[in-house]
Structure 1
Amino acid sequence: MGIISFQGARPKSKKQDGTLIKVSDYMSRKLITFTPNQSVMEVMETLVKNKISGGPVVNERNELLGIISEGDCIKQLNESRYYNMPINDANVERFMVKDVDTIDGNASIFDAANKFLESKRRRFPILEEGKLVGQISQKDVMKAALKMNSQNWRDV
């Protein structure tokens, strides 16, 4: 007869002082954002200059409309070559992803890690009252894990 192991429900992830480790503790608040009418060329320049892989697209009220990434820009490059169309005419709205998954800033950092694994996304925007307030990336989750390295993961 083999060994049967059962692990019950785990408590929420906590800091050493006993408070919940939340997405909002590690999210980036100073974001580079884009507008739907910006050119894809301008987005590519910004991504390369700032060494980022994408960013949120917002309107004048800072409401999230989509996400534009390196992959979206490359898709545009490919289409412009295929259809022999000038790249300067392409705007963000045409190539951005409009169906954007978000995450609650009050979610635990481990909930965020699970959501990254399930969705294969690289970043999740955080909204408050319909407005973009931040973004958490896979790298932010890794930073949180490194900061917690002295804790026993079983107690988290």
Structure 2
Amino acid sequence: MGIKNYIGKRAKPIKGSTENIKVSDYMCRNLITFKPEQTVLEVMNTLIKKKISGGPVVNDNHELVGIISEGDCIKEISNSRYYNQPMEDIKVEEHMIKEVETIDGEMNLFDAAEKFLTAKRRRFPICENGKLVGQISQKDVLKAALELKGNSW
């Protein structure tokens, strides 16, 4: 039987500690986004060209309306072949995930790391006043952890 050691959250953050590190400190602000009226074929080309696995879908007001991923595109490849439908006719809005879970940019980065584990997501969009302002990915959390490795968390 192993020893389980749990240290609860400190009452006050210590100056210079990782407790005041926010998602907004590490989120990506320069995002590749998609439009609902784009074709899935266009999305596939962008995913390959930009070496990303998915991205947010925004309307003309830059409001988040969905997420589209490699997996969504693969489903459409399979469906288009089965139903003999040209990929050029398949629109993002018909196949994006519309129920999107976002997180707050003010959230502690390590609480966000826990959220990645429980939600089993690769990325979370961040919105302010209904507008997409950034995205945090699992990779962003790993980068932050490497930067902060001199500190104890």
The TM-score, its normalising length taken from structure 1, stands at 0.90
Percent identical residues: 60
The corresponding residue for 2:97 is: 97
Q: Does 1:145 align with 2:145?
A: yes
Q: Which residue of 2 is the match for residue 17 of structure 1?
A: 16
TM superposition shift of 1:5: 6.1
Unaligned runs of 5+ in 1: none
Cα 1:94/1:150, change in 2 over 3 Å = same
Could you tell me how far 1:13 is from its partner in structure 2? 10
Partner of 2:39: 39
Q: 1:91 to 1:13 in 2, by over 3 A?
A: farther
Q: Which moved more, 1:68-77 or 1:17-26?
A: 17-26
Which whole-Å CA distance do the structure 2 matches of 1:23 and 1:69 have between them? 22
Q: Cα RMSD over matched residues?
A: 2.2
The CA distance in 2 between the partners of 1:43 and 1:13, in whole Å, is 45
Q: What does 1:1-156 align with in structure 2 at a 5 Å threshold?
A: 7=6, 9-11=8-10, 17-18=16-17, 20-153=20-153
Mind listing any 5+ residue stretches in structure 2 that lack a counterpart? none
Aligned residues: 152
User: Structure 1 residue runs of 4+, over 4 Å off?
Assistant: 2-6, 12-16
Give the letter aligned to residue 24 of structure 1: S
Closer, same or farther: CA 78–12 of 1 in aligned 2, 3 Å: farther
Specify whether residues 142 and 84 from structure 1 end up closer, same or farther in structure 2 by C-alpha distance, changes over 3 A only.
same
